[in-house]
Amino acid sequence: VLPVVAVVGRPNVGKSTLFNKLIGQRLSIVEDTPGVTRDRIYGKCEWLGREFMLVDTGGIEPESDDIILSQMRRQSELAITSANVIILVTDIKSGVTSTDMEVAQMLMKSGKPVVLCVNKVDNVGEPPMELYEFYNLGLGEPFPVSSVHGHGTGDMLDEVLKYL
């Protein structure tokens, strides 16, 4: 059985874009409308000769009463339970939100290793100042990534492999 790496975070941060980039296929639907990925989607991924299953999730909105959003949340919780490592995806453009804080707390309680991905860092070069506020999530070093361009995914996956 392959180890499982779950991609979680609130809607619209770019989880499905990252998932597709990492598995090298367009399996997951990318949408500007939050909440398109409702079910868990699995894809095989390989980095430096190590294979694992990557799981895309719908996104977590902790305070929602909406049925679809709460089902997405449930799917994310199931993915977290079955995962060996979790990639928490956040978004440099929106900064750290209260939802990111809540999801980070929930992940810490799960006791699973978490790798913090700060997505949408599209410009190569020096990491932007905005990256530093992500240390406030309490999950250690934030890894800047551009899922659209593929920048930064290697360093992030190196970190994931440490826990596999």
The answer to whether residues 9 and 15 touch, using CB atoms and an 8 Å cutoff, is yes
* In the complex, minimum distance from the CB of residue 148 to ligand GDP, in angstroms, rounded to a whole number: 4
The 2-41 site mask, x for binding ligand GDP (CB under 6 A), equals: ---------xxxxxxx------------xxx-x-xx----
Q: Does residue 147 belong to the site contacting ligand GDP (CB under 6 A)?
A: yes
The Cα–Cα gap between 159 and 124 comes to: 20
Q: Does 73 bind ligand GDP (CB under 6 A)?
A: no
d(CA 82, CA 25): 23
Closest CA to 43 of 73, 16, 9, 12: 16
- The residue within the footprint of Mg ion, chosen from 4, 5, 16, 134 (CB under 5 A), is 16
Q: Is 14 annotated as a binding residue?
A: yes
Residue 122 lies near ligand GDP (rule: CB under 6 A): yes
Asked if 90 and 102 touch (Cβ cutoff 8 Å), the reply is no
State which residue, 4 or 22, has the beta carbon closest to ligand GDP: 22
Determine the interface stretch with Mg ion among 32-40, 107-115, 116-124, 134-142 (rule: CB under 5 A): 32-40
Q: Binding site for GTP: residue ranges?
A: 9-16, 56-60, 119-122
Interface contacts to ligand GDP, rule CB under 6 A: 11-17, 30-32, 34, 36-37, 59, 119-120, 122, 146-148
